[in-house]
């Protein structure tokens, strides 16, 4: 039976003093009495943030926070909230007494964290090979609206919406548009970065395959705003269907006059080329991507100058990720205030995640920024497939490893930064307790070792050296000094590498040593892999 509700009882030292464990057992007793034990899960959570209203009880999916709760309150809460479905208002924690991690939760609008589709709105609903279907679903309306505005008004709108780049770095999109607009040049380019190669990420593929015209429309709007007349969509070569659909969509858009000269009777001229990648992760880095379009090895350039001033063939170039572009038409149609009503104040909008790993349901979801990993696992992924949740890896290989203890951190750029982890590109690789941290880190580092372009030494040698050390540990040949060397390598790669690949290559090592050091040391000191994955011999 799937779990329909989830109870969290805060179990920080303060809450424990005030009887949180009694509350926990009382909940268990009451749930059994009401025959709800199969439908409602209950967990003690150590890290919900401090509160004057401790002990706290949070009930999902409504995300209601009760507190301070006493064991005597429990029967009433179970009967009213979980049995009859009525929220017990008088026991809700006063929001001014909440601080830290739970404060955002009480401010969250709406209760059920249902999927909220902005980027994927048309995907699976319209026929991606038929432009008329797109037009019937508000397609190319935003372009018309943008052309009625001044260039600066469009850029101000994107700035006001707070849209952040969805490729992984989270740079404010409106700011980037402004940079390109203010660079004076007779020629400017728009590039859509669809070289989606982060392991575990396939959100852009789904948008390209399911709603290609949305990307064309967004590129047109950006072209108008920054004053560009030519664009490229760089799609990774493995995405054959996406390439075909995109090429077909461009042809249709040309036939209908959305691409070409004097679009909608305005001064806007724009054409789009599709460039197929040839298989290189590094080409997702924007300057490597530009080199690759120019027909060279995909090696990142030194920055500055940034592409906004010196991009494709030396001209100012606006590069945005597919998901970033897909947000543009809805923002133009519905306004910045609407967009800001989604997500969290510092990270407006929605985020598309790919859910992977040892869970019951894998696939793609689009939800407001700020939901938690715990919600993703229990609600959208329908729980762990086997074993219990050990860690999640976010955002492909350059994302962080999030231990189970951080699963209540809201997933938005700001909260994750503060916690010292990264949201990355939106992949959520969810691992159970049968996954060995050393084995996982080894696979992640191997990816960087293979994909390093070799241009700069810290990355080329660092990834190789780190991989060898990790392989040694999985074979029972590790020494404690290796951990110091790994730590140093991870820092050196971060500080000395030329581009994002090398800079983030050490993240899995850093997180491994931060959160799972005991497990790593067991491999070395005791010569065993606690999970039983590593062979521990040659």
Partner 1 sequence: MTSDGIKEAEEVNSIRKIVANIGSTRADLIPVLQAITNKFGYISQPAIKELSDLMNLPTKEIMSVATFYRMLSTQPRGKHVIQFCESAPCHVVGGREVFIALKDALNLEPGQTSPDNKWTLITTSCLGVCGIGPVILIDTDLYGNVTPDQVKNILSRYD
Nearest to partner 1 of 10, 321 (CB atom): 321
296 part of the interface to partner 1, by CB under 8 A: yes
Report yes or no: 66 and 88 within 8 Å, Cβ to Cβ. yes
Is 353 an interacting residue with respect to partner 1 (CB under 8 A)? no
User: Residue from 431, 438, 473, 531 that binds partner 1 (CB under 8 A)?
Assistant: 431
Residue 36 as a binder of partner 1 (CB under 8 A): the answer is no
Shortest spacing between CB 279 and partner 1, in angstroms: 3
* Residue selected from 134, 258, 416, 447 as contacting partner 1 according to rule CB under 8 A: 447
**DSSP per residue, 116-136:** --STTSSTTTS-TT-HHHHHH
Closest distance to partner 1 from the beta carbon of 203 (Å): 10
Distance, C-alpha 232 to centroid of its chain: 24
The single residue among 49, 128, 167, 199 that binds partner 1, judged by CB under 8 A, is 199
CA torsion sign for 46, 51, 56, 58 is: negative
Q: State yes or no: residue 516 binds partner 1 (CB under 8 A).
A: no
Reported as type and span, the H/E element at residue 331 is helix 322-334
25/386 with CB nearer partner 1: 386
Tokens of 146: 């943008």
CB of 223 to partner 1, least distance (A): 20
Report the residue from 104, 202, 339, 353 that binds partner 1 according to the rule CB under 8 A.
202
Residue 126 in the binding site for partner 1 (CB under 8 A): no
Residue 40, token pair as written in the block: 């409602």
* By the rule CB under 8 A, 24 interacts with partner 1: no
- Residue 444 interacting with partner 1 (CB under 8 A): yes
Look up residue 504 and give its two tokens.
């983030």
Which own/partner contact pairs does 346-349 have at CB distance under 8 Å and 24+ positions apart? 346/412, 346/413, 346/414, 347/162, 347/164, 347/170, 347/412, 347/413, 347/414, 348/161, 348/162, 348/163, 349/118, 349/161, 349/162, 349/163, 349/164
Residue 140 or residue 202: which is nearer to partner 1 going by CB? 202
Q: Give the C-alpha separation, 86 to 339, whole Å.
A: 31
In degrees, rounded to 5, the angle at the alpha carbon of residue 227 between the alpha carbons of residues 223 and 230 is 55
Q: Is the peptide bond before 307 cis (omega within 30 degrees of 0)?
A: no
The DSSP call for residue 92 is B
CA distance 73 to 92: 11
Longest dimension (CA), the chain: 75
Residue nearer to partner 1 on the CB measure, 169 or 274: 274
Interface residues for partner 1 in 262-281 (CB under 8 A)?
275-281
Which DSSP category does 379 fall into? Answer: I
Interaction between residue 293 and partner 1 (CB under 8 A):
yes
User: Nearest distance from residue 369's CB to partner 1, in Å?
Assistant: 22
The nearest distance, CB 282 to partner 1, in angstroms, is 9
**How many residues bind partner 1, per CB under 8 A?**
50
197 binds partner 1 (CB under 8 A): yes
- Asked whether the beta carbons of 279 and 238 are under 8 A apart, the reply is yes
Q: Which is nearer to partner 1, 209 or 412 (CB)?
A: 209
Near partner 1 by CB under 8 A: residue from 127, 294, 481, 495: 294
Return the residue of 201, 398, 409, 507 that touches partner 1, per CB under 8 A: 201
Would you count residue 424 as binding partner 1 (CB under 8 A)?
Answer: no
Q: Which residues bind partner 1 (CB under 8 A)?
A: 196-202, 205, 236-240, 275-281, 292-298, 354, 356-358, 362-364, 393, 396-397, 427, 429, 431, 435, 439-440, 443-444, 446-447, 450-451, 453
């Amino acid at each position: 039976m799937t779990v329909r509700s989830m109870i969290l009882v805060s179990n920080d030292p303060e809450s424990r003093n005030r009887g949180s464990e009694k509350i926990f057992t009382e909940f268990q007793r009451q749930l059994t009495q009401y025959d709800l034990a199969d439908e409602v899960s209950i967990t003690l959570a150590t890290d919900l943030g401090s509160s004057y209203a401790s002990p706290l009880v949070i009930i999902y999916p409504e995300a209601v926070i009760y507190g301070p709760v006493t064991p005597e309150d429990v029967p009433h809460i179970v009967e009213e909230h979980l049995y009859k479905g009525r929220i017990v208002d008088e026991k809700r924690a006063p929001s001014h007494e909440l601080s830290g991690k739970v404060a955002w939760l009480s401010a969250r609008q709406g209760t059920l964290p249902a999927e909220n589709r902005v980027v994927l709105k048309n995907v699976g609903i319209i026929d991606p090979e038929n432009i008329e279907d797109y037009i019937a679903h508000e397609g190319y309306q935003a372009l018309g609206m943008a052309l009625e505005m001044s260039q600066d008004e469009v850029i101000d709108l994107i700035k006001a919406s707070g849209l952040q780049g969805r490729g992984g770095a989270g740079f404010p999109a409106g700011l980037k548009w402004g940079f390109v607009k203010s660079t004076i040049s007779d020629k400017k380019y728009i590039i859509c970065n669809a070289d989606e190669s982060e392991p575990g990420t396939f959100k852009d593929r789904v948008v390209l395959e399911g709603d290609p015209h949305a990307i064309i429309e967004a590129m047109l709007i950006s072209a108008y705003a920054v004053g560009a007349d030519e664009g490229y969509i760089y799609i990774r070569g493995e995405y054959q269907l996406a390439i075909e659909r995109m090429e077909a969509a461009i042809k249709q858009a040309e036939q209908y006059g959305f691409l070409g000269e004097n679009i909608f009777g305005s001064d806007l001229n724009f054409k789009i080329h599709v460039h197929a990648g040839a298989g290189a992760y590094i080409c997702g880095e924007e300057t490597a991507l530009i080199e690759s379009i120019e027909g060279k090895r995909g090696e990142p350039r030194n920055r500055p100058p940034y592409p906004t001033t010196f991009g494709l063939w030396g001209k100012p170039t606006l590069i945005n990720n597919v998901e970033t572009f897909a947000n543009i038409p809805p923002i133009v149609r519905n306004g910045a205030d609407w967009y800001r009503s989604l997500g969290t104040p510092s990270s407006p909008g929605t985020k598309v995640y790919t859910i992977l790993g040892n869970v019951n349901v894998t696939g793609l979801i689009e939800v407001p920024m700020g939901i938690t990993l715990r919600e993703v696992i229990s609600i959208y992924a329908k729980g762990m497939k086997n074993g219990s949740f050990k860690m999640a890896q976010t955002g492909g290989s350059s994302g962080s490893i999030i231990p189970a203890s951080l699963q209540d951190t809201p997933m938005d750029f700001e909260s994750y930064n503060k916690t010292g982890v990264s949201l990355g590109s939106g992949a959520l690789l969810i691992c159970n307790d049968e996954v060995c941290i050393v084995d996982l880190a080894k696979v992640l580092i191997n990816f960087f070792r293979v994909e390093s372009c070799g241009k700069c030494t810290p990355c080329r040698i660092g990834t190789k050296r780190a991989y060898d050390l990790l392989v040694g540990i999985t074979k029972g040949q590790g020494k404690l000094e290796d951990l110091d060397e790994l730590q140093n390598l991870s820092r050196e790669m971060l500080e000395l590498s030329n581009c994002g690949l090398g800079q983030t290559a050490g993240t899995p090592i850093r997180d491994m040593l931060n959160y799972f050091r005991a497990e790593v040391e067991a491999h070395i000191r005791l010569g065993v892999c606690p999970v039983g994955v590593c062979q521990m011999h040659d």
